[in-house]
Amino acid sequence: MSTCAPGELSGPGGVAMAELKSLSGDAYLALSHGYAAAAAAAAGFAYGAARGPEAARGYGAPGQGGDLPAAPAPRARPPATESSGEQSGDEDTPSSSSGAAAGAGGASDGRRRPREQRSLRLSINARERRRMHDLNDALDGLRAVIPYAHSPSVRKLSKIATLLLAKNYILMQAQALDEMRRLVAYLNQGQGLAAPVAAAPLTHFSQAAVYPFSAGAALPCPDKCAAFSGTPSALCKHCNEKP
Protein backbone atom coordinates (compact mmCIF):
# COMPACT_ATOMS: atom_id res chain seq x y z
CA MET A 1 0.00 0.00 0.00
CA SER A 2 1.02 3.56 -0.13
CA THR A 3 3.03 4.43 2.85
CA CYS A 4 3.93 7.86 3.99
CA ALA A 5 7.59 8.28 3.39
CA PRO A 6 9.13 9.23 6.69
CA GLY A 7 10.88 12.12 5.13
CA GLU A 8 7.95 14.04 3.91
CA LEU A 9 4.50 15.12 4.68
CA SER A 10 2.74 16.96 2.01
CA GLY A 11 0.48 19.03 4.10
CA PRO A 12 -2.01 21.29 2.47
CA GLY A 13 0.45 24.06 2.89
CA GLY A 14 3.22 22.05 1.40
CA VAL A 15 4.90 21.52 4.72
CA ALA A 16 7.54 18.89 4.55
CA MET A 17 7.65 16.39 7.33
CA ALA A 18 11.32 17.11 7.67
CA GLU A 19 10.45 20.65 8.62
CA LEU A 20 8.13 19.49 11.31
CA LYS A 21 10.80 17.25 12.65
CA SER A 22 13.44 19.88 12.94
CA LEU A 23 11.39 22.92 13.69
CA SER A 24 11.82 24.96 16.79
CA GLY A 25 11.28 28.35 18.29
CA ASP A 26 9.55 31.05 16.35
CA ALA A 27 9.72 28.98 13.25
CA TYR A 28 7.47 26.54 15.00
CA LEU A 29 4.80 29.09 15.70
CA ALA A 30 5.09 30.52 12.25
CA LEU A 31 4.61 27.15 10.75
CA SER A 32 1.90 26.02 13.08
CA HIS A 33 -0.17 28.96 12.05
CA GLY A 34 0.93 28.90 8.49
CA TYR A 35 0.15 25.25 8.18
CA ALA A 36 -3.42 25.64 9.14
CA ALA A 37 -3.86 28.89 7.32
CA ALA A 38 -2.38 27.46 4.20
CA ALA A 39 -4.63 24.51 4.58
CA ALA A 40 -7.66 26.69 4.47
CA ALA A 41 -6.33 28.97 1.79
CA ALA A 42 -5.01 26.30 -0.48
CA ALA A 43 -8.00 24.08 -0.38
CA GLY A 44 -10.74 26.52 0.42
CA PHE A 45 -12.79 23.82 2.00
CA ALA A 46 -14.25 23.28 5.39
CA TYR A 47 -12.69 20.21 6.79
CA GLY A 48 -15.36 19.55 9.26
CA ALA A 49 -18.11 19.80 6.74
CA ALA A 50 -16.53 18.65 3.55
CA ARG A 51 -14.46 15.93 4.97
CA GLY A 52 -13.93 14.87 8.51
CA PRO A 53 -13.52 11.17 8.99
CA GLU A 54 -15.69 11.34 12.07
CA ALA A 55 -18.56 12.85 10.21
CA ALA A 56 -18.02 10.88 7.09
CA ARG A 57 -17.91 7.48 8.57
CA GLY A 58 -19.74 7.84 11.80
CA TYR A 59 -16.63 7.49 13.79
CA GLY A 60 -17.33 7.53 17.46
CA ALA A 61 -20.50 5.61 17.21
CA PRO A 62 -19.31 2.57 19.09
CA GLY A 63 -19.95 4.17 22.40
CA GLN A 64 -23.60 4.67 21.75
CA GLY A 65 -24.51 1.07 21.60
CA GLY A 66 -24.49 1.16 17.84
CA ASP A 67 -20.90 0.18 17.73
CA LEU A 68 -19.69 -0.34 14.25
CA PRO A 69 -20.87 1.85 11.43
CA ALA A 70 -22.51 -1.20 10.04
CA ALA A 71 -20.78 -3.57 7.74
CA PRO A 72 -17.65 -1.73 6.61
CA ALA A 73 -18.01 -3.08 3.14
CA PRO A 74 -17.23 -6.62 2.26
CA ARG A 75 -13.58 -7.14 2.58
CA ALA A 76 -11.67 -9.41 0.29
CA ARG A 77 -9.77 -10.90 3.12
CA PRO A 78 -7.54 -13.85 2.55
CA PRO A 79 -9.53 -16.97 3.23
CA ALA A 80 -8.60 -16.99 6.83
CA THR A 81 -9.75 -19.55 9.27
CA GLU A 82 -13.23 -18.50 10.17
CA SER A 83 -14.85 -15.24 9.19
CA SER A 84 -16.01 -16.62 5.90
CA GLY A 85 -18.82 -14.26 5.02
CA GLU A 86 -19.66 -12.57 8.26
CA GLN A 87 -18.31 -9.14 8.10
CA SER A 88 -18.28 -6.95 11.10
CA GLY A 89 -21.58 -7.29 12.87
CA ASP A 90 -19.49 -6.25 15.79
CA GLU A 91 -22.26 -5.07 17.99
CA ASP A 92 -21.15 -7.97 20.04
CA THR A 93 -21.86 -7.91 23.68
CA PRO A 94 -18.77 -9.66 24.78
CA SER A 95 -20.04 -11.03 28.00
CA SER A 96 -23.45 -12.05 26.83
CA SER A 97 -22.52 -13.53 23.53
CA SER A 98 -19.56 -15.36 24.80
CA GLY A 99 -21.56 -16.49 27.74
CA ALA A 100 -24.24 -17.82 25.48
CA ALA A 101 -21.70 -19.56 23.37
CA ALA A 102 -20.07 -21.05 26.36
CA GLY A 103 -23.37 -22.11 27.75
CA ALA A 104 -24.42 -23.69 24.52
CA GLY A 105 -21.15 -25.29 23.73
CA GLY A 106 -19.67 -25.77 27.12
CA ALA A 107 -16.31 -26.07 25.43
CA SER A 108 -14.26 -25.34 28.44
CA ASP A 109 -11.14 -27.06 27.28
CA GLY A 110 -8.51 -25.54 25.02
CA ARG A 111 -10.46 -25.95 21.79
CA ARG A 112 -13.25 -23.48 21.07
CA ARG A 113 -16.19 -24.07 18.89
CA PRO A 114 -16.30 -21.85 15.83
CA ARG A 115 -19.17 -19.87 17.24
CA GLU A 116 -17.33 -19.30 20.46
CA GLN A 117 -14.21 -18.43 18.57
CA ARG A 118 -16.12 -15.91 16.57
CA SER A 119 -17.61 -14.42 19.67
CA LEU A 120 -14.20 -14.12 21.23
CA ARG A 121 -12.87 -12.52 18.07
CA LEU A 122 -15.64 -9.95 18.08
CA SER A 123 -14.93 -9.17 21.68
CA ILE A 124 -11.27 -8.65 20.93
CA ASN A 125 -12.11 -6.48 17.95
CA ALA A 126 -14.39 -4.32 20.07
CA ARG A 127 -11.69 -3.89 22.68
CA GLU A 128 -9.17 -2.95 20.06
CA ARG A 129 -11.57 -0.46 18.58
CA ARG A 130 -12.13 1.07 21.97
CA ARG A 131 -8.43 1.28 22.53
CA MET A 132 -7.89 3.06 19.26
CA HIS A 133 -10.69 5.45 20.03
CA ASP A 134 -9.04 6.28 23.34
CA LEU A 135 -5.82 6.85 21.52
CA ASN A 136 -7.55 9.17 19.10
CA ASP A 137 -9.19 11.04 21.95
CA ALA A 138 -5.78 11.56 23.46
CA LEU A 139 -4.51 12.84 20.14
CA ASP A 140 -7.43 15.23 19.96
CA GLY A 141 -6.52 16.45 23.40
CA LEU A 142 -3.00 17.01 22.22
CA ARG A 143 -4.19 18.90 19.17
CA ALA A 144 -6.26 21.11 21.43
CA VAL A 145 -3.23 22.37 23.31
CA ILE A 146 -0.90 22.74 20.39
CA PRO A 147 -0.85 26.33 19.20
CA TYR A 148 -1.95 26.09 15.64
CA ALA A 149 -5.02 27.49 14.02
CA HIS A 150 -7.91 25.58 15.50
CA SER A 151 -10.83 26.30 13.33
CA PRO A 152 -13.63 24.28 11.88
CA SER A 153 -12.64 25.58 8.49
CA VAL A 154 -9.15 24.24 8.83
CA ARG A 155 -8.15 20.70 8.28
CA LYS A 156 -7.07 19.13 11.50
CA LEU A 157 -3.54 17.97 11.94
CA SER A 158 -2.76 14.45 10.97
CA LYS A 159 -1.58 12.10 13.67
CA ILE A 160 2.03 12.23 12.67
CA ALA A 161 1.98 16.00 12.26
CA THR A 162 0.38 16.34 15.67
CA LEU A 163 3.10 14.32 17.32
CA LEU A 164 5.93 16.08 15.56
CA LEU A 165 4.47 19.50 16.18
CA ALA A 166 3.96 18.66 19.83
CA LYS A 167 7.52 17.53 20.15
CA ASN A 168 8.82 20.74 18.63
CA TYR A 169 6.51 22.79 20.77
CA ILE A 170 7.84 21.14 23.89
CA LEU A 171 11.39 21.80 22.77
CA MET A 172 10.52 25.39 22.08
CA GLN A 173 8.98 25.79 25.51
CA ALA A 174 12.01 24.26 27.15
CA GLN A 175 14.19 26.67 25.26
CA ALA A 176 12.08 29.63 26.32
CA LEU A 177 12.14 28.46 29.91
CA ASP A 178 15.88 28.18 29.82
CA GLU A 179 16.16 31.66 28.42
CA MET A 180 13.86 32.93 31.13
CA ARG A 181 15.97 31.29 33.80
CA ARG A 182 19.08 32.92 32.51
CA LEU A 183 17.41 36.28 32.41
CA VAL A 184 16.13 35.90 35.95
CA ALA A 185 19.56 34.82 37.09
CA TYR A 186 21.08 37.84 35.52
CA LEU A 187 18.55 40.16 37.07
CA ASN A 188 19.03 38.58 40.46
CA GLN A 189 22.72 39.08 40.08
CA GLY A 190 22.18 42.77 39.68
CA GLN A 191 19.88 43.34 42.61
CA GLY A 192 20.20 40.22 44.67
CA LEU A 193 22.35 41.84 47.33
CA ALA A 194 20.07 44.78 47.69
CA ALA A 195 16.90 42.76 47.97
CA PRO A 196 17.75 39.27 49.10
CA VAL A 197 14.25 38.51 50.30
CA ALA A 198 12.66 39.45 47.06
CA ALA A 199 15.29 37.62 45.12
CA ALA A 200 15.04 34.44 47.14
CA PRO A 201 11.97 33.05 45.44
CA LEU A 202 13.68 33.46 42.12
CA THR A 203 16.87 31.67 42.95
CA HIS A 204 15.44 28.22 42.69
CA PHE A 205 14.42 29.22 39.23
CA SER A 206 17.93 29.77 38.11
CA GLN A 207 20.39 27.00 38.37
CA ALA A 208 22.83 28.08 35.70
CA ALA A 209 23.17 31.67 36.76
CA VAL A 210 25.60 33.07 34.29
CA TYR A 211 24.92 36.11 32.25
CA PRO A 212 26.00 35.23 28.78
CA PHE A 213 27.12 38.64 27.65
CA SER A 214 30.33 39.83 29.15
CA ALA A 215 29.83 43.31 27.80
CA GLY A 216 26.48 43.55 29.43
CA ALA A 217 27.79 44.85 32.69
CA ALA A 218 28.86 48.04 31.05
CA LEU A 219 25.52 48.75 29.47
CA PRO A 220 22.66 50.60 31.03
CA CYS A 221 19.91 48.28 32.05
CA PRO A 222 17.41 48.63 29.24
CA ASP A 223 20.20 48.11 26.82
CA LYS A 224 21.44 45.09 28.65
CA CYS A 225 18.04 43.55 28.71
CA ALA A 226 17.53 44.37 25.11
CA ALA A 227 20.87 42.87 24.27
CA PHE A 228 19.98 39.73 26.13
CA SER A 229 16.52 39.01 24.89
CA GLY A 230 16.03 41.38 22.04
CA THR A 231 13.59 43.57 23.92
CA PRO A 232 13.52 45.32 27.24
CA SER A 233 12.41 42.87 29.86
CA ALA A 234 9.13 43.21 31.66
CA LEU A 235 10.76 41.40 34.53
CA CYS A 236 13.37 44.07 34.99
CA LYS A 237 12.29 46.88 37.23
CA HIS A 238 14.78 49.20 35.61
CA CYS A 239 13.26 48.61 32.23
CA ASN A 240 9.91 49.53 33.69
CA GLU A 241 11.14 52.57 35.49
CA LYS A 242 9.91 55.85 34.21
CA PRO A 243 12.76 58.11 33.15
Partner DNA sequence: TAGGCCATCTGGTCCT
Partner DNA sequence: AGGACCAGATGGCCTA
**Binding positions for DNA, rule: CB under 7 A:** 1-5, 8-12, 42-43, 45, 47, 50-51, 53-54, 56-57, 59, 61-62, 68-69, 72-78, 80-81, 83, 88, 90, 94, 110, 120-129, 131-133, 136, 158-161
Residue among 25 and 99 whose Cβ is closer to DNA: 99
Q: How far is the CB of 141 from DNA (least distance, A)?
A: 14
Residue among 86 and 179 whose Cβ is closer to DNA: 86
Q: How far is the CB of 173 from DNA (least distance, A)?
A: 24
Q: How far is the CB of 117 from DNA (least distance, A)?
A: 9
Residue among 92 and 172 whose Cβ is closer to DNA: 92
Per the CB < 8 A criterion, the answer to whether 183 and 229 are in contact is: yes
Residue among 146 and 184 whose Cβ is closer to DNA: 146
DSSP states along the chain? -----TT----TT---HHHHHH--HHHHHHHHHHHHHHHHHHH---HHHH--HHHHHTTTGGGGT--SSS----------SS-SS--------HHHHHHHHHHHH---SS---HHHHHHHHHHHHHHHHHHHHHHHHHHHHHHHHS-S---TTSPPPPHHHHHHHHHHHHHHHHHHHHHHHHHHHHHHHHHTTT-HHHHHHHHTT-SS---S-GGGGGS-HHHHHHHHHSS--TT-HHHHS--
Q: How far is the CB of 64 from DNA (least distance, A)?
A: 12
Q: At 219, is the secondary structure helix, strand, or coil? A: coil
Q: How far is the CB of 96 from DNA (least distance, A)?
A: 13
Residue among 23 and 236 whose Cβ is closer to DNA: 23
Residue among 154 and 236 whose Cβ is closer to DNA: 154
